[in-house]
Amino acid sequence: MKNKKNRDRIGLGYAVTGVITSLKTEFNMRIHVIIMFVVIFSGFLFRISVFEWLFVILAIGFVLAFELMNTVVELLTDVLFKEEHESAKNIKDISAAAVLVAAIFAAMVGIIIFFPKVIEFMNALF
């Protein structure tokens, strides 16, 4: 369903629009982005290594990408199932579970990297 006007825009523009739409409509996406900024700030504050940055970036990327896909699944489910339906429930619940798995992985990465540094910082302080 492309027209002349649409062809003038590059794919990246649509992707950015998708991110903005998801930020506007999804509360969880806004939370993930806030956490992302806090983690990136902490990464600079605690001067984490390049190796640690790789894990942090991977974890952030996984969570944001899964959240975006979860939003797509929710939108499609709402279009496909106008009424209450067992399948709609399962689709949404399993899609949300995928985000949860990514978030748990990210939390574990965060704890493994930052927890010892926070303890060290506290010990130096008191």
Ligand X SMILES: Nc1ncnc2c1ncn2[C@@H]1O[C@H](COP(=O)(O)OP(=O)(O)OP(=O)(O)O)[C@@H](O)[C@H]1O
- Residues near ligand X (CB under 6 A): 26, 28, 74, 81, 84-85, 88-89, 92-93, 96
Which tokens is 38 given? 């806090």
Residue 6: exposure state from Cβ atoms within 10 A (0-12, 13-18, ≥19): exposed
- In this complex, which beta carbon is closest to ligand X, that of residue 45 or of residue 72? 72
Hunting for tokens 């640690």 — which residue is that? Answer: 52
Q: How far is the CB of 66 from ligand X (least distance, A)?
A: 12
- Dist CA 64 CA 29 (whole Å): 7
- In this complex, which beta carbon is closest to ligand X, that of residue 32 or of residue 62? 32
Q: How far is the CB of 112 from ligand X (least distance, A)?
A: 28
- Dist CA 78 CA 72 (whole Å): 10
Q: How far is the CB of 103 from ligand X (least distance, A)?
A: 13
- In this complex, which beta carbon is closest to ligand X, that of residue 8 or of residue 86? 86
- Dist CA 23 CA 71 (whole Å): 10
Q: How far is the CB of 31 from ligand X (least distance, A)?
A: 11
